[in-house]
Structure 1
Amino acid sequence: MSRPPVARKPRASSQSRIVGILAAARELLAEQGVASLSIYSVAERAQIPPSSVYHFFASVPALLEGLTADIHGAFRACLQEPIAHEQLRDWRDLSRLVEQRMLAIYAADAAARQLILAQHGLAEVTQADRQHDIELGQLMQQLFDRHFP
């Protein structure tokens, strides 16, 4: 009887390589947009062989899905930052605070604007973005429930 594969966390060296690849992709995306992004341009920017990029990301859409997950991590983190409840008069104050935090992420991250707000036509990225949006919506509901039961 075979066991289902177990998802393992990448080793530290692999995780470091993934971070470098995503950073290079983020820079290129911010500078040149989705249309000019390629495995080879990312490898060149990250100063690694293209085979290393392909090892972790089989295609540009897979790379962009990874980048989308990375960007949504920043949104998750902003929803998990502490909030001084005593400074909230009502739910609108909480809504305004969350909105300001998320807008700050977009303002500081040109790659996020390119990837999430631009019309790029990549179904895989759009689907990943939708899944992340569902998760963020659930976290936001939990946040509002915590402050305004």
Structure 2
Amino acid sequence: MTRTAPLRKPRSRSQARIDSILDAARTLLAAEGVASLSIYSVADKAQIPPSSVYHFFASVPALLEALTADVHAAFRACLLEPIDHERLSSWRDLSRLVEQRMLDIYGEDAAARQLILAQHGLTEVTQADRQHDIEL
């Protein structure tokens, strides 16, 4: 039996750096789209050296995969929000409620729209999105 080591949680300082990188990438993605995103532009926006970005994310697609995971985490969180069952009269009501919650996420998050809805042609991001959809 092969046993794999569990993924370690990053140290708080490393997690703060990762969060800074993802925030910078999210801001740039929302403002300029996928085509203008680079490790160097993210590093510049986060005010850190490019080597620090490369330390955590080997490529732009890897960075976008992490952002896609963040978007899907927001989707999962909205599915866990309480539902007023008294307001539901059929499954269609539940479907509309879930759909509206998802639309609210897209409406508030320009980066999510760029990642999930835009035609960027990045196979890694599309595959990550599909996998997250299956999990949802």
TM-score normalised by length of structure 1: 0.87
Tell me, in whole angstroms, the C-alpha distance in 2 between the residues paired with 1:3 and 1:54.
28
Partner residue, 2:89: 89
Question: After superposition, what is the alpha-carbon deviation per residue over 1:89-122, rounded to whole angstroms, capped at 9, x for unaligned?
Answer: 1111111111111001001111111111011111
Partner residue, 1:34: 34
How far did 1:16 drift? Answer: 1.1
Return structure 1 stretches of 4+ with deviation > 4 angstroms: none
Partner residue, 2:77: 77
Partner residue, 1:140: none
Query: What amino acid maps onto 2:92 in structure 1?
Result: R
Partner residue, 1:48: 48
SS in 1 for 2:94: helix
Tell me, in whole angstroms, the C-alpha distance in 1 between the residues paired with 2:4 and 2:92.
46
How far did 1:5 drift? Answer: 3.2
Tell me, in whole angstroms, the C-alpha distance in 1 between the residues paired with 2:60 and 2:105.
23
Alignment of 1:7-18 (within 5 A): 7-18=7-18
Partner residue, 1:67: 67
Tell me, in whole angstroms, the C-alpha distance in 1 between the residues paired with 2:3 and 2:51.
30
How far did 1:15 drift? Answer: 1.1
Question: After superposition, what is the alpha-carbon deviation per residue over 1:39-81, rounded to whole angstroms, capped at 9, x for unaligned?
Answer: 0000000111111111110000000000000111111100011
Query: What amino acid maps onto 1:121 in structure 2?
Result: G
Q: Percent identity?
A: 79
Query: What amino acid maps onto 2:132 in structure 1?
Result: H
Query: What amino acid maps onto 1:65 in structure 2?
Result: E
Query: What amino acid maps onto 1:78 in structure 2?
Result: C
Query: What amino acid maps onto 1:16 in structure 2?
Result: A
Tell me, in whole angstroms, the C-alpha distance in 2 between the residues paired with 1:105 and 1:11.
29
Partner residue, 1:22: 22
Query: What amino acid maps onto 2:48 in structure 1?
Result: I
Partner residue, 1:109: 109
